Amino acid sequence: MPAPNTPSKTSQVITRELHAWIAAERAQGHGHDTILQAMLYAGWEHQVAAEALTSTPPPPLPVPWPELASSHMRLDGGDRLVELTTVMREPDIIVFENLLSAGECEALIEAARPRLHRSLTVSVETGGEEVHKDRTSEGMFFTRGENALTQRIEARIARLLEWPIENGEGLQVLRYRPGTEYKPHYDYFDPAEPGTPAILERGGQRVATLIMYLQEPESGGATVFPDVRLQVVPKRGHAVFFNYSQPHRCSQSLHGGMPVLAGEKWIATKWLRESVFT
């Protein structure tokens, strides 16, 4: 299907019609580069075409979300009742209380401590990993189901969020010392980046994040959601969960870890994919 009628180069405007055309092309399986080239061939300026692609949200994906129909604010995690302290919709954010016991928090820290190294981020250009100036923590990954402790926690998360265990990445444990932080970012993989197709081969898009607080710092270290002006104070055993049905800024899933001012903050992060993660 050809691109919509192209206005003159001096009056090119991104219209609802153009957004609809891009969405239809994506639905037919055409990738970012293919659509961009079609627009350039039709006469669209590169800058306008690129902005139109960036500003058109992809179709929504199914996302994890717990059953909240009951009147009380407790959920059955199988081996543990978990309380809810905050529930937000659009964007979807939940704060869980006592998701982990104090013993589980300490056991995760001690198992992770010998394996810590400078935290890496996913490189959206290559599909690999890289050190990034915005992330200054230390961290490590457990493989999914690596030991009895992680198996128990993963089963609890799967039951709470009604999402298959096999669709989850392994738990990542992070330590933030004073002065360290993770500046606001998105957890999904940008469809426009060249390394994204290789990343998606392992389980599709990330569709949700669960951040569990293993140790609270003396000061600082809140998880911040700038789009909705929300800060979640880290408290041992508690967790914050949020999903993002579209890998796009319209998901309002921008979040970050504010600098730790005193003490150490330890967290465990669980990322959930749209399909089986390998």
- pTM for the complete prediction? 0.86
Strands 138-141 and 117-118: antiparallel
Q: Is 67 helix (H, G, I), strand (E, B) or coil?
A: coil
182's tokens: 């993770």
**Distance in angstroms between the alpha carbons of the first and the last residue of the chain:** 36
Q: Where are the domains of the chain?
A: 16-55, 74-273
User: What amino acid is encoded at 73 in this protein?
Assistant: M
> Can you give the pLDDT of all 278 residues of the chain as single tens digits?
667 666 665 578 999 899 999 989 988 888 888 999 999 999 999 999 999 998 898 889 999 999 886 556 889 999 999 999 999 999 999 999 999 999 999 999 999 999 999 876 766 566 566 667 777 789 999 999 999 999 999 999 999 999 999 999 999 999 999 999 999 999 999 988 888 999 999 999 999 999 999 999 999 999 999 999 999 999 999 999 999 999 999 999 999 999 999 999 999 999 999 999 99
Q: Is 96 helix (H, G, I), strand (E, B) or coil?
A: strand
Q: Cα separations (Å) of 236 from 19, 30, 87, 241?
A: 44, 45, 19, 15
CATH number of 74-273: 2.60.120.620
Beta-sheet strands, E only, within the chain: 74-76, 81-88, 93-97, 117-118, 121-122, 129-130, 138-141, 172-176, 182-185, 206-215, 219-220, 223-225, 230-232, 239-243, 255-257, 260-262, 265-273
Edge-to-edge strand ranges of the sheet holding 265-273: 74-76, 81-88, 93-97, 239-243, 206-215, 265-273, 172-176, 138-141, 117-118
The answer to whether residues 210 and 157 touch, using CB atoms and an 8 Å cutoff, is: yes
